[in-house]
């Protein structure tokens, strides 16, 4: 295969990624979604110019540590609809990544490496098994949209109030009992979705958010 900036192998029934893909070191976009992949080679770390990677809709149980070496990865990283329970700490080196989707996996905790991706603008972690978020979530100073639908969250850490750029937070379908007071003063919050949450204690300050123009769905 000749080298090119973009390679789309979506739904090709590969089962395994051909070694020739890892030789295309000039790639900036690589789509490997829906290929029944159970693993990805460590050679992915050779793709030093990659800006977007789609590994969604596969059967992955792990991600190579070498992916953390691809520090050019800044546009999108799709890991949704796999069998992941953790991510390698090395992914914390992806300091320029703006969009991450780890929805529809088996995460019980949000991997700490995610909170090191300080350029993140949008984070999707819906349909997992999250029971809590780490305090370090507050380090995502650029985060605007946070999607946590259909997890097992009973609360959020106070550090969520440090997300001064947060516009939208989707908490649908979680057994939430309380929300941190810190959300009350989130300066840019435009939408908080609490539908399908019937366990939440009375939170009077939600009306204050509505009064200032924030959409509160419940």
Question: How confident is the model over 103-124, as pLDDT tens digits?
Answer: 999 999 999 999 999 999 999 9
| Nearest-angstrom CA–CA distance, 166 and 193 | 13
What is the band of 4 on the pLDDT scale with cuts at 50, 70, 90? low
| Nearest-angstrom CA–CA distance, 200 and 203 | 8
| Nearest-angstrom CA–CA distance, 34 and 54 | 10
- What sections of the chain are H helices per DSSP? 19-22, 206-211
Residue 1 has pLDDT above 80, yes or no: no
Q: What is the pTM of this model?
A: 0.96
Domain positions in the chain are 6-217
- Phi and psi based region of residue 35 (left: phi greater than 0; alpha: psi -120 to 50; beta: remaining): alpha
Domain 6-217, CATH number (from 3.80.10.10, 3.30.420.480, 3.30.300.30, 3.40.50.300): 3.80.10.10
Question: How confident is the model over 57-98, as pLDDT tens digits?
Answer: 999 999 999 999 999 999 999 999 999 999 999 999 999 999
Structure tokens at 158: 């106070």
């Amino acid at each position: 295969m000749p080298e090119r900036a973009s390679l789309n192998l979506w739904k090709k029934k590969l089962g395994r990624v051909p070694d020739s893909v890892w030789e295309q070191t000039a790639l900036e976009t690589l789509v490997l979604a829906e290929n029944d992949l159970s693993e990805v080679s460590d050679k992915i770390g050779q793709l030093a110019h990659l800006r977007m990677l789609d590994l969604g809709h596969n059967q992955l149980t792990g991600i190579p540590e070498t992916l953390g070496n691809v520090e050019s990865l800044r546009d999108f990283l799709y890991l949704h609809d796999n069998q992941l329970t953790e991510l390698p700490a090395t992914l914390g080196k992806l300091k320029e990544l703006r969009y991450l989707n780890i929805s529809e996996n088996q995460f019980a905790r949000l991997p700490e490496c995610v909170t090191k991706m300080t350029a993140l603008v949008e984070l999707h972690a819906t349909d997992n098994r999250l029971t809590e978020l780490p305090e370090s979530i507050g380090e995502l100073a650029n985060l605007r949209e946070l999607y946590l639908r259909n997890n097992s969250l009973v609360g959020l850490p106070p550090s969520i109030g440090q997300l001064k750029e947060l516009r939208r937070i989707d908490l649908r379908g979680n057994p939430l009992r309380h929300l941190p007071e810190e959300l009350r003063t989130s300066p840019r919050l435009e939408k908080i979705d609490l539908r399908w949450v019937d366990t939440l204690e009375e939170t009077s300050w939600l009306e204050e958010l509505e009064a200032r123009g924030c959409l509160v769905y419940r």
